[in-house]
Structure 1
Amino acid sequence: MKQFLLTSAAALTLTACANTNATFPSFFQESGAVVDAHGTFGAATTHNVGVQNGTIKYTVDLANRFADEVPSMVTFAFNSSQLDANARAILRQQADWIRQFPEVRFRVYGHTDLVGSQTYNKRLGLRRAQAVVSYLSTLGISRSRLEAVVSFGETQPLVVTQGRERRNRRTVTEVSGFVQGHPSLLDGKYAAVIYREYIASAVPIPTGAVPSVNSSE
């Protein structure tokens, strides 16, 4: 019986030694190897380094963020450049986002459906883009930040059809770059924008929210 117990204990010891690396992998592997099992550890640092050395374009990153966080497109009635209530609501969302980033410039692209001549549709697309720029300016966005108004006319339909298609009668607002020489930018780096947002998020607790320990009943 004693021999059996010794043999069993030895077997368990060997098993434990064999599986030590599986049980405590962080002890036997380099620092961070386990944390990075899903490939996300250090991703923020990698991104920041990429932005600084130019391998990641900060304007592309901001453009993707704008497209993800707010609707970038508004549509129009047939043969019209008038903004309806839905379009104005979307543009107010765009303006709220744009105001957060005074360093960023935008470009508005106008589009039409395939009804009508190319020449006419080019002008109509431009009027639609101008209507968006004008409305954004009434919401406090400087026209100097809306750097260009471009019309693609009927050349880039979302839905290929010769008939009337509202989704083709649209404008698209996109990030185009940074305002040159803006004082909030550190050599034009996106890190300055992120740092400003980080500081702004640190809201102090009002002094009156915590009662004084010396106050009397």
Structure 2
Amino acid sequence: MRNWMICLGVAGTVSACGLEAGYQVDSGTFGNATLNNVQMMNGERSYAQTLADRFAREVPTQINFAFDSAQLDASAQQILTLQADWIRQFPEVRFRVYGHTDAVGSNAYNNSLGMRRAQAVVSFFASRGISRSRLEAAVSYGETQPLVATSERERRNRRTVTQVSGFLDRHPNILDGKYAEVIYREYIKSAEPKTSLKIETTSSAFEQ
């Protein structure tokens, strides 16, 4: 059967003439949705991990601190506001905050400082209306997991990282109602029109 070719003129220029329709569709992620579904159903991939991956893709998961401080500066608060907005979309999900420091100071002091930083983040989320029952300042790694290997002051090592840790009261081996609610809610949201497609017949161009 003859393959039909489509030649589209965009803004008055020919950009896809002579190439099969759909040649640009696959950006390397085609089939990932089906793969994720299969992996979750056979136990290879947890439901929480799927949301954790999405959280890491859609918002910055890390903030940084001044030396010997657990105060949230303006930049940190902006990032945490983005995190809080994302977290509020998923009332079924728990989150954990990990605290880190640089290598200046004793291990004991840095463990305490890392925990204070994690607790500051949890308090910020709580002030934005997120229940503390969903939040945990669980671990302080202190100076043990630096991003930059140095014994000097290093802002990139003075950080907290927010991660998805699981579902509220969820059995680990079943596709329960909570996760189904997330899927359904996101499915309905995806059907909402975002933009309209306007076709200009005079210039043979598509504008969105």
**TM-score between both structures, scaled by the size of structure 1:** 0.70
Amino acid aligned to 2:100: H
1:106–1:147 Cα contact (<8 Å) kept: yes
Amino acid aligned to 2:43: G
Alignment partner, residue 28 of structure 1: none
Give the Cα separation in 2 of the matches to 1:117 and 1:124: 10
Deviation string, structure 1 residues 156-202 (Cα, Å, up to 9, x no partner): 010011110000000000011111159xx951674431221122444
1:75 to partner: Cα distance: 0.5
2:105 is the counterpart of 1:116: yes
2:125 is the counterpart of 1:101: no
Alignment: residue pair count: 171
Q: Greater strand percent: which structure?
A: 2
Give the Cα separation in 1 of the matches to 2:41 and 2:178: 7
**Of 119, 122, 131, the match for 1:142:** 131
2:122–2:136 Cα contact (<8 Å) kept: no
1:141 to partner: Cα distance: 1.0
2:53 is the counterpart of 1:69: no
User: Mind listing any 5+ residue stretches in structure 1 that lack a counterpart?
Assistant: 1-19, 25-34, 205-217
Give the Cα separation in 2 of the matches to 1:40 and 1:125: 37
Amino acid aligned to 2:118: A
**Of 39, 64, 78, the match for 2:67:** 78
Higher Cα Rg: structure 1 or 2?
1
Which contiguous aligned blocks of 4+ residues in structure 1 show a shift greater than 3 angstroms? Answer: 38-43, 188-192, 200-204
2:101–2:142 Cα contact (<8 Å) kept: yes
Q: CA RMSD in A?
A: 2.8
1:51–1:189 Cα contact (<8 Å) kept: no
Alignment partner, residue 53 of structure 1: 42
1:125 to partner: Cα distance: 0.4
User: Mind listing any 5+ residue stretches in structure 2 that lack a counterpart?
Assistant: 4-22, 194-208
1:150 to partner: Cα distance: 1.3
1:47 to partner: Cα distance: 2.1
**TM-score between both structures, scaled by the size of structure 2:** 0.73
**Of 152, 155, 158, the match for 1:163:** 152
